[in-house]
Amino acid sequence: SLVIGSNLSRELLFSSDILSNERSQVVIKIILCVSNILFHFFTHATKICQKRIYANV
């Protein structure tokens, strides 16, 4: 049943990819952009936190 489910999901992904190829590319770009911003914000925030911890010590 797992094999049938994976094949079915793959077919669904393939068919939906044909229907909304441009849209999916836009969504992927948005997700990558947002995750990139969040990653930079997170690393920046951790650096600030580390500086404050070292300053307190």
- The reported pLDDT for the residue numbered 2 is 60
DSSP E strands in the chain: the ranges are: none
- 1-57, pLDDT tens digit by residue? 566 667 766 776 666 555 566 777 788 888 889 999 999 899 988 888 888 878 876
DSSP string, 9-53: HHHHHHHHHHHTHHHHHHHHHHHHHHHHHHHHHHHHHHHHHHHHH
- The reported pLDDT for the residue numbered 56 is 74
The answer for residues whose C-beta is within 8 angstroms of residue 17's C-beta and 6 or more apart is: 24
- The reported pLDDT for the residue numbered 30 is 86
- The reported pLDDT for the residue numbered 15 is 63
Structure tokens at 38: 């969040």
